[in-house]
Chains A and B, each alone.
Chain A
Amino acid sequence: MKIPRTPWLLVVAAGFWAAVQLLRLVGFNDYYLFIANLSLVYVILAVSLNLINGIIGQFSLGHMGFAAVGAYVSGSITTLIFKLSPNVAAHYPGFVLALVAGGVAAALVGVAIGFPTLRLKGDYLAIVTLGFGEIIRTVFNNIDAVGGPRGLLGIPKFSTFTVILAFALITVAVIRNIAESAHGRNMIAIRENELAADLVGIDTTGYKVKAFALGAFFAGIGGGLYAHLLQIAHPTQFGFIYSVQVLIMVYAGGVGSLTGSVLAAFALTILTQLLKSGLSSLKSLTGLPIGGDWYMVLYALLLILIMLYRTEGLMGTREAKLMVIPEEDDK
């Protein structure tokens, strides 16, 4: 009989879940749990962006625009349900459906943006996606039904650690399985040499739109989880600077390496928090005029160092073993 392959990704996720549950018993407080949750949301955003920027090689700068669509759509749905009956536990199936609806809405926006823009290359595509990301954000800023500049308030706190971890696991598993499939090969070929990809019979435009839609779908899920973690969807949360932050995670981890994106999402989320609190306490201890907000300076400095001394990021295009699906006769 054939022995099924150990689902290492599931094992690691389950181990992480169990570890956090155990640590909760010995002083892993709500703040730490929040950082774990936030890291997992960034895992979803970074891995989905890596599909677009890394695997198929289309430079997108508007990822947070898709996250905003997911946040507002799912947030609107759950606030409505919550108003009707404020019983949190009963609403989890509805919450999951609302997240998926947010993802689908983001994917549709992705396709709508993708068709006219994906003929563009490199810098041009980057600028156009940046513009579209800002348009999406500004639209929400001006729709009064979702709070306009005040943001969509009163979103129920449905994003628990378990839910976020489950969605992060699904995101990583799905994108890995696609990247490691024949479709993934076609996408990498497009990244490597678009003309040659065209001339071996790959529908390059079709693939770009599909990758854009899929990346946007998971960004929408990530945005929805984010809104249900912070209990608010606000236009400033989805600004350009946050798209850049996700982009930085992708590049720091290694563009094209999903493992790298996962690691960098954790590392940089934790680092941001450490810098913020570290600088605040340094200020109160020494009286130096550098407060918590100066974390961006050190963060940016770190990036400059990465780009100067390790351009390929943490992982390059390498993957951890659990992210590689071995071929049948290679075992």
Chain B
Amino acid sequence: MSAVLKVTGMSHWFGGLKAVSNFNFEVPEGAIYGLIGPNGSGKTTTFNLITGIYKPTEGKIEFSGGDITGAKPYRIVRKGVARTFQNLRIFGSMSVLDNVRVARQYAPVSSFLASTLRLPSYKAEERARKAEAMNLLDVLHLSGRAKEQAKNLPYGELRRLEIARALATNPSLLLLDEPAAGMNPKEVQDLMALIARVRDEFKVTVFLIEHHMKFVMGLCERIKVLDFGETIAEGVPELVAKDPRVLEAYLGKKGGH
């Protein structure tokens, strides 16, 4: 399988702090790929670098064969990289439906003039936007909430809404930043099934960050483990789980310091 995302020699400094150090990895197309590591190991920074929020100090990011290093976030999204956030970033006062349809930016929007005059081309476009958004809400079991203000939704539903919104951008790569955070075991089970289903139904590659070990081990086909900005292990879950350096990073050194 070819790599949908290829990162070579990527480093990022915040002043004197090296948050990400010489990262090299490839996310295979169609995979569910996991990035794990203790707090402060550079996971979210990696996502921020891929999505263009930060520009890497060194290195190169390629997506679907094209160089996206340092491109503007909205352009990267339109190329097909979507993400969710660790601490939810919902458009609170907008309706659930609007949260999703506002994300359909890959298709051109009519000019201000055509929109103001409500020309037929604009109306057709709006119908398409709404139909697509409603379909996504159906898949994520949120269609009953379409008209509600997003901020009134319970936490678990907001997490699903963020996934729906990310999918509305028509991505080929979906980045999930701690999707299981704050969920109970039942919700985590459902989420695992949902992510697998989304991957198959929308033909996306999933790249996720997570603390929840059972979740990562049960869902991901390939895992990369970070500690203090460095890669300490990479491979299939069964091998990574046995790697002594991974155990050390998570459980501490044998015999103590």
Binding site for B on A (CB under 8 A): 174, 177-178, 181-183, 185-186, 188-189, 192-193, 195-204, 210, 214, 317, 325, 327-329
Question: B74 — which chain A residues lie within 8 A by C-beta?
Answer: 198-199, 201-204
Minimum CB–CB distance for B106 against chain A, Å: 6
Question: A199 — which chain B residues lie within 8 A by C-beta?
Answer: 51, 53, 73-74, 77, 82-83, 89
Question: A192 — which chain B residues lie within 8 A by C-beta?
Answer: 90-94
Interface residues of B in 45-88 (CB under 8 A from A): 51, 53, 73-74, 77-78, 82-83, 85
Using A183-B109, A202-B102, A204-B74 as known contacts, say yes or no to A196 and B115 having CB atoms under 8 A apart: no
The 8 A CB mask of B102-139 against A (1 = contact, 0 = none) is 11011001101001111000110111011000000000
Question: A189 — which chain B residues lie within 8 A by C-beta?
Answer: 91, 94, 102
Interface band, chain B: 35 or more
**B116→A177 contact, CB < 8 A:** yes
**A196→B85 contact, CB < 8 A:** yes
**A181→B116 contact, CB < 8 A:** yes
**B101→A327 contact, CB < 8 A:** no
Indicate whether B178 reaches chain A with its CB closer than 8 angstroms: no
Using A188-B94, A202-B74, A317-B93 as known contacts, say yes or no to A195 and B53 having CB atoms under 8 A apart: yes
- Please measure, in the bound complex, the distance between the C-alpha atom of A182 and the C-alpha atom of B73, giving whole angstroms: 20
- Please measure, in the bound complex, the distance between the C-alpha atom of A203 and the C-alpha atom of B117, giving whole angstroms: 22
**B102→A186 contact, CB < 8 A:** yes
- Please measure, in the bound complex, the distance between the C-alpha atom of A200 and the C-alpha atom of B115, giving whole angstroms: 20
Q: Who on chain A is nearest to B111 by CB?
A: A183
Q: Who on chain B is nearest to A192 by CB?
A: B91
Question: B51 — which chain A residues lie within 8 A by C-beta?
Answer: 199
Ordered nearest first, which 8 A-B pairs have the shortest CB separation? A201-B105, A200-B103, A196-B89, A201-B77, A192-B91, A181-B115, A177-B116, A198-B73
**B115→A177 contact, CB < 8 A:** yes
**A195→B89 contact, CB < 8 A:** yes
- Please measure, in the bound complex, the distance between the C-alpha atom of A327 and the C-alpha atom of B133, giving whole angstroms: 14
Indicate whether B7 reaches chain A with its CB closer than 8 angstroms: no
- Please measure, in the bound complex, the distance between the C-alpha atom of A178 and the C-alpha atom of B93, giving whole angstroms: 18
Q: Who on chain A is nearest to B98 by CB?
A: A185
Given A200-B102, A201-B106, 20 new contacts (CB under 8 A): A174-B116, A177-B116, A178-B115, A182-B109, A185-B94, A185-B98, A185-B101, A189-B91, A192-B94, A193-B90, A197-B91, A198-B74, A199-B53, A200-B168, A200-B169, A201-B77, A201-B169, A214-B112, A328-B127, A329-B130
**B93→A181 contact, CB < 8 A:** no
Minimum CB–CB distance for B183 against chain A, Å: 21
Question: A197 — which chain B residues lie within 8 A by C-beta?
Answer: 91, 102
Question: A183 — which chain B residues lie within 8 A by C-beta?
Answer: 109, 112, 115
- Please measure, in the bound complex, the distance between the C-alpha atom of A110 and the C-alpha atom of B115, giving whole angstroms: 22
**A181→B102 contact, CB < 8 A:** no
Minimum CB–CB distance for B179 against chain A, Å: 16
- Which residue, of A174, A182, A201, has the highest number of chain B Cβ atoms within 10 A? A201
**Total residue contacts A-B, CB cutoff 8 A:** 98
The 8 A CB mask of B12-49 against A (1 = contact, 0 = none) is 00000000000000000000000000000000000000
Question: B159 — which chain A residues lie within 8 A by C-beta?
Answer: none
Q: Who on chain A is nearest to B116 by CB?
A: A177
Question: A177 — which chain B residues lie within 8 A by C-beta?
Answer: 115-118
Minimum CB–CB distance for A296 against chain B, Å: 33
**A181→B122 contact, CB < 8 A:** yes
Indicate whether B160 reaches chain A with its CB closer than 8 angstroms: no
Minimum CB–CB distance for A216 against chain B, Å: 14
- Which residue, of B91, B102, B112, B169, has the highest number of chain A Cβ atoms within 10 A? B102
Minimum CB–CB distance for A217 against chain B, Å: 11
Question: B78 — which chain A residues lie within 8 A by C-beta?
Answer: 201
Q: Who on chain B is nearest to A198 by CB?
A: B73
* A-B residue pairs in contact (CB < 8 Å), sample of 6: A182-B126, A192-B92, A197-B102, A199-B74, A199-B77, A201-B74
One of B82, B98, B117, B123 near A328 (C-beta < 8 A): B123
**B103→A201 contact, CB < 8 A:** yes
- Please measure, in the bound complex, the distance between the C-alpha atom of A68 and the C-alpha atom of B102, giving whole angstroms: 35
Question: A185 — which chain B residues lie within 8 A by C-beta?
Answer: 94, 98, 101-102
- Please measure, in the bound complex, the distance between the C-alpha atom of A194 and the C-alpha atom of B74, giving whole angstroms: 11
Indicate whether B165 reaches chain A with its CB closer than 8 angstroms: yes
Q: Who on chain A is nearest to B106 by CB?
A: A201
**B127→A178 contact, CB < 8 A:** no
- Please measure, in the bound complex, the distance between the C-alpha atom of A39 and the C-alpha atom of B102, giving whole angstroms: 35
Question: A186 — which chain B residues lie within 8 A by C-beta?
Answer: 102, 105, 109
